[in-house]
Amino acid sequence: MANKLKRPLAIMLLVMLAVLLYGCVAQPAASYKLGSSGEEVKEIQRRLRDWGYYKGPVDGKYGEATRAAVIWFQKKHGLVADGIVGAQTAEKLGIPAPKSGGSVKSGGSNSDLYLLAKLVYAEARGEPYKGKVAVAAVVLNRVESSQFPDSIPKVIYQKGAFTCVDDGQINLAPDQESLDAARDAMNGWDPSGGALFYFEPNKATSKWIWSRPQIVTIGNHIFCA
Amino acid sequence: MWNKKWVRITLISLAGALILGLSAYSIVLHDQNTSLKNQISAVYQRSFEELMSDMNSLQTKLYKLEAATGLNQYSMLLTDVWRQTGDTAGSLSLLPVSYAGTSALTQFINRTGDFCRSLLRKLSLGQSITQEEYDQIKKLAASCGEVIKSLQELYGKGFPQDGFSEAVFIPENDEKGTLDFSNQEFPRLQYDGPFSESTENKQPEGLGKNQVNQQQAAEIAAKFLGVDAGTLTADGECNGRIPCWEFSGNQDGRAFLISVTKQGGHILWYRKDNGGGISAIPTDQRYRELSKAAQQYLAEKGYGESAPSYAQFYNGMAIINLAPVEKDVVLYPDLIKVWIDIYTGEAVGLDANNYLMSHKPRDLKEPKLTAEAAREKVTPSLVVSSTRLALIPLETGEEKLCWEFTGKIEDRDYIIYINAETGQEEDILMIQHTNDGELVM
């Protein structure tokens, strides 16, 4: 009996150890620099060319011209201008690089955007993209409205205004699409047509919400004034 | 026998231990629960007390305004009121109250602040407060008094701690909750500002007269995109401030969404999937190329000449803000956004909302001030890199013809607007360079 258990246990331990070790060790600072070559270098050159930094051939050879372009790119983005594509530069260039810990960036100076993205993720992650932008737009429409508080945090944390604040889902890390939707809404795109509320018709029992003038239906949400 | 006895004893003691354990656990839970409840009700208590004291001090300041005669007192009191209203609305928003019961109070608070800000603006332009505006201030103070009375009554009844049936923000029926201002008469304010009635009810001016039905709209969308109208999927309608017909479809394997206004048959917005990409800033040279592509796109689509103003870069796209140009004047109220795929230079999005809200035939007058005379009004520390005429929208909804001076003070980028008629400094903008591009603040 005891022996039978020991083996799976040992295997489990080994697997756990392997996972742990992988987490610690498997982060080689994969960097591309003078002399590097290959498909990744080609991709680096292609991106640098499309963004205007690189005029040379896309040949997969990391030469002086590529190095100069990388330095220019790094300077423009406030990165260490060493001409080497390390983890940070690779991330900015969108080149697959080993992950270093948590990959989700918090908003930093752009905390409003991040908070809005969290709301979109919590409230509308199953919705079509347009519906996600519309949910973000509702928050911004409230900020602009005289009937609501005057900032994104005040509107989102208004007591009882969004269920995801009460059930804690607001604290989930948003995905890329939610960030994009929040950004599109902040850039002024409003597929909700100026709505102040939205609800799910098959779940909403409130007569009051049904009495609001409806503007548009997107995915599972009805948006209303 | 022995066995049975032992089993019984074991079972009973196990059950006993279980009961003891559960009781202990529930006591801990209960304590935690009580502590959390107390903490939450302390937040409500604090917010409610702050709301009361904020309303009191709002009223005091409004009454003081009535007594003031000096410009310095006016400015200080009006600034105080304006600043305080933001906090007051914030305190109210933390209370568990219903939207139906309190939206009128939030609106009253916001508009009071906005109104006082509009008075500050008048004073700064050398105008004085009219008798009508004095009367409005008096009415606002009186309304504050009524609100304070209701709040104090509730407070006396133990609100918000006891008697607190938590009102929900979106009620089931039309319950207003204990805190109910839905029947209170608040004064209607005559002024122009971001929260004023005139701004909130602004109607689009750039739509034109004719109505288009869904079929006609589909044809307009198809022509705009260069696809066959039969390939579009009708996504219904959107009846917001600018009512429109919506469609979706595929072009070259990429999904798109497009929205056509019911009145006038204009494209309100259009977005095409660009396949994603990186969020990086292109070189200035590449940015100029992308701006040119956006300008060409707008010209092709019939918006005429336009000037790029600022841009952001994300997901392989540049979102470029362009203002139409008429008689060498840059029309900022009609700002149009164009999304350009950085890889291909193709336009993958358009947002004409501002254009359709504001665009109209305008009688653009010759500037009274020359550019040189206007330059004298700008701080000498600005190193000017470009000067042009621009029409800018003000918070009040008005449009002003200004000389626009773009330049630097040390390494910071500014845009300064001098009224081309009066020489007033109408606006100062700063350009912030972020990792996503430029932000105008």
Q: Which residues of B touch A190 (CB under 8 A)?
A: 240, 353
Contact B176, B101 (CB under 8 A): yes
Secondary element (H or E) of residue A224: strand A221-224
Q: What is the CATH number of domain A110-224?
A: 1.10.10.2520
In order of A73, A120, A159, B97, B245, the CA distances from B105 in angstroms are 52, 28, 15, 11, 36
Token digits of residue B112: 């009071």
Looking at residue A107, its pLDDT comes to 38
Q: What is the CATH number of domain B274-358?
A: 3.10.450
User: Which of B83, B238, B268 would best serve as a mutation to test chain A binding (most A beta carbons within 10 A)?
Assistant: B238
Mean pLDDT rounded to a whole number for chain A: 83
Token digits of residue A152: 């994104």
Which of B184, B177, B185 has its CA nearest to residue B101?
B177
Coil, strand or helix at A127: coil
Q: Which residues of A touch B286 (CB under 8 A)?
A: 50-52
Predicted ipTM of the assembly: 0.87
Is it true that the peptide bond before B160 is cis, omega within 30 degrees of 0? yes
Check if A208 contacts B (Cβ < 8 Å): yes
Q: Which CATH superfamily is domain A29-104 in?
A: PGBD-like superfamily/PGBD (1.10.101.10)
Looking at residue A19, its pLDDT comes to 47
Distance (Å, whole) CA B309 – CA A121? 32
Distance (Å, whole) CA B140 – CA B82? 13
Q: Which residues of B touch A127 (CB under 8 A)?
A: none
Which of A162, A158, A108, A107 has its CA nearest to residue A136?
A162
Touching A: B residues 212-241, CB under 8 Å: 236-241
Which of B342, B313, B275, B278 has its CA nearest to residue A93?
B278
Q: Which residues of B9-45 are buried (b: 16+ CB within 10 A; e: fewer)?
A: eeeeeeeeeeeeeeeeeeeeeeeeeeeeeeeeeeebb
Check if B280 contacts A (Cβ < 8 Å): yes
Q: Which residues of B touch A94 (CB under 8 A)?
A: 277-278, 280
User: Where does residue A179 rank: exposed (0-12), middle (13-18), buried (19+ CB within 10 A)?
Assistant: buried
Q: How many CB atoms lie within 10 A of CB B66?
A: 12
Q: Do B170 and A195 touch (CB under 8 A)?
A: no
Work out the average pLDDT over A181-207: 91
Looking at residue A6, its pLDDT comes to 60
- At residue B104, does pLDDT exceed 60? yes
pLDDT tens-place string over residues B136-151:
999 999 999 999 999 9
For A3-12, A50-59, A83-92, B59-68, which range has the lowest pLDDT when averaged over its residues? A3-12
Work out the average pLDDT over B293-301: 97
Contact B194, B118 (CB under 8 A): no
Q: Which residues of A102-123 are buried (b: 16+ CB within 10 A; e: fewer)?
A: eeeeebeebebbbbbbbbbbbb
Fold type of domain B203-273: Nuclear Transport Factor 2; Chain: A, (3.10.450)
- At residue B80, does pLDDT exceed 90? yes
Confidence band of A102 (pLDDT split at 50, 70, 90)? very low
pLDDT tens-place string over residues B169-182:
877 777 777 788 88
Work out the average pLDDT over B239-259: 94
Fold type of domain B371-440: Nuclear Transport Factor 2; Chain: A, (3.10.450)
Confidence band of A98 (pLDDT split at 50, 70, 90)? very low
Secondary element (H or E) of residue B66: helix B2-67
Residue ranges per structural domain of chain A:
29-104, 110-224
Secondary element (H or E) of residue B326: strand B317-326
Q: Which amino acid is at A127?
A: E
